[in-house]
Structure 1
């Protein structure tokens, strides 16, 4: 199987544009038109923005409606909107969004003025990268930050080039239908471990930051009970090890879990009924890590419920 080569899709961008739009575009030449803005030698005016919607220069007018020239010119003149020296990515995005009112249009301006920092905001590319954020600005900033990682990994010249390459890849694969070439390209993408690590990281990292292991187990249980059982089971074992140290019980030897349960009952941490429950979910924890054992959603949910009802109380019993 061929390796996934993102740079090669940048080279195919002109051909895709000819096929899709009837002409090719030279974005590098258009970027040079924004050099004075990039250097902070003048402020942004309406004609700069509207230039990005000219059919002879870009295809973007097919995706976004251009702003009304008179209203935009008045808003930009009253603000004297300089693009450099550039503040933080977030501040620059928020300020421009307050004038242009559309994150797609904002991304066009930013990607041509500061191509090293921003890319064109594209829903297909956002979906490829698996990026989700609660607000529009946060989503766009996360999108550009992730593009920067792909730029470095695939040795592209800028963030803007990277967004173009990924858009081209999407057009030649998912948007192209189910051809032998598109299947091969998707297979190379799916088989690239670095790519999939980045995508999984984007999808899961917000959950890892927000939720603890028991909450994650409860979230995952419907999709994959054994994985959920591993996550919750590790937290169960961690809590057992913490209480075992306090009671002077050495875990890790045969029968040590049963010794710990007895000691917990003797010291008043649990009742006899609770000891039965702890023993039962220890068996559930063991099933989660053995490949031949099956595990139901109900078993995992019962394990999580028991940990929350019994084990969490030990933190207060010093």
Structure 2
């Protein structure tokens, strides 16, 4: 779990508990009949061990009299999956502590659908698992990871954190609460109070932002700043200003300026850089100009204009590329 996530109890989790309480009624309104998950769980309770899955067991997960499985999903034909099911043991009892990725992958290999895998796990071990569905992905801004297994595990990580933070009993309960929440925010049964609570939930917001920026984690700060230039120019400028100082101090280290310390002012760092390769009087004058933009932003709160921002982003990107390529590596040492 991400330890950086703030663990305060803001008292706002009541809206998820309210959504969970309304799950049977919203199901009845949406589908014309209530969903009885506890009855399905009872039907497959015998699978809570190390066991094979029989084709006969799959009928319990379908249970058309108890929920709407057949509206959305279908298991593969018996002849396609029975040979693999007969020779594969699944240790459902020791999940999730033992062999979780391997179990998910093994089920996926047989059923070819992460949604079907999630349904099996959700009913066999509702304490720890949830159905993988578009509404919950939407509410948490889940993005696809390296493969379906990693995507589902990341999905579960979010729901498990929500279970702990908002003190719900099971991951399956979080799943049902979020499904109702989606209906309250985007469906036919809108609820402004519930939607406002969701928008104000800082913990969910952190999860959502984490999911949104996860694909950007491999970007350098210079590339990230450029990527944000249109959507968030102020944030792009702030990142670039921070990276400008980092890069200039890194350059001083590459040029072996031993007298430069962490406390050395940035202008003095620039002055002490020798004229070598790409470094010259005009380049150093540019860096001092960008340093002034940086100081105005960080110390005075003055946002740079569009032209200043473009110049800042371009130069930080150029400097990062040169340093990474070793453009200054052959510089003479300076005492």
Q: Provide TM-score, normalisation by structure 2.
A: 0.82
**CA 1:185–1:300 in 2, change beyond 3 Å: closer, same or farther?**
farther
Matches within 5 A, 1:85-100: 85-86=94-95, 87-100=98-111
Measure the CA separation in 2 of the matches of 1:114 and 1:145. Answer: 15
Measure the CA separation in 1 of the matches of 2:329 and 2:201. Answer: 44
* Contact 2:40–2:63 (Cα < 8 Å) also in 1: no
SS in 2 for 1:121: coil
* Contact 2:275–2:281 (Cα < 8 Å) also in 1: no
Measure the CA separation in 2 of the matches of 1:51 and 1:68. Answer: 16
**CA 1:92–1:235 in 2, change beyond 3 Å: closer, same or farther?**
same
* Contact 1:131–1:143 (Cα < 8 Å) also in 2: yes
How many Å apart are 1:247 and its aligned residue?
A: 4.9
| Correspondent of 1:174 among 186, 202, 217 | 186
How many Å apart are 1:306 and its aligned residue?
A: 4.0
* Contact 1:249–1:260 (Cα < 8 Å) also in 2: yes
2:132 pairs with 1:121: yes
How many Å apart are 1:277 and its aligned residue?
A: 2.3
Provide Cα deviations, 1:184-219, integer angstroms capped at 9, x if missing partner. 2222111111111121122223423x1232222222
Aligned to 1:278: 287
| Correspondent of 2:148 among 120, 132, 136 | 136
How many Å apart are 1:47 and its aligned residue?
A: 2.3
* Contact 2:48–2:93 (Cα < 8 Å) also in 1: yes
Aligned to 2:175: 163
* Contact 2:141–2:212 (Cα < 8 Å) also in 1: yes
2:307 pairs with 1:298: no
* Contact 1:44–1:80 (Cα < 8 Å) also in 2: yes
Provide Cα deviations, 1:5-38, integer angstroms capped at 9, x if missing partner. 2111111110011101111122123212222211
SS in 1 for 2:81: helix
Number of positions where the alignment pairs a residue of Structure 1 with one of Structure 2: 310
Measure the CA separation in 1 of the matches of 2:32 and 2:176. Answer: 18
Matches within 5 A, 1:197-236: 197-208=206-217, 210-236=218-244
2:69 pairs with 1:60: yes
Structure 1: tracts of 5 or more residues without a match: none
Higher helix share: 1
Q: Provide TM-score, normalisation by structure 1.
A: 0.86
Measure the CA separation in 2 of the matches of 1:316 and 1:188. Answer: 58
Measure the CA separation in 2 of the matches of 1:231 and 1:16. Answer: 45
* Contact 1:247–1:263 (Cα < 8 Å) also in 2: no
Aligned to 1:46: 55
Measure the CA separation in 2 of the matches of 1:49 and 1:316. Answer: 68
How many Å apart are 1:314 and its aligned residue?
A: 5.1
How many Å apart are 1:126 and its aligned residue?
A: 1.2
Measure the CA separation in 1 of the matches of 2:201 and 2:330. Answer: 47
SS in 2 for 1:79: coil
| Correspondent of 1:13 among 13, 16, 23 | 23
* Contact 2:62–2:70 (Cα < 8 Å) also in 1: yes
Aligned to 1:36: 46
SS in 2 for 1:173: helix
Measure the CA separation in 2 of the matches of 1:249 and 1:74. Answer: 69
2:254 pairs with 1:237: no
CA RMSD of aligned residues (A): 2.8
Structure 2: tracts of 5 or more residues without a match: 1-10
* Contact 1:50–1:67 (Cα < 8 Å) also in 2: no
Measure the CA separation in 2 of the matches of 1:20 and 1:154. Answer: 26
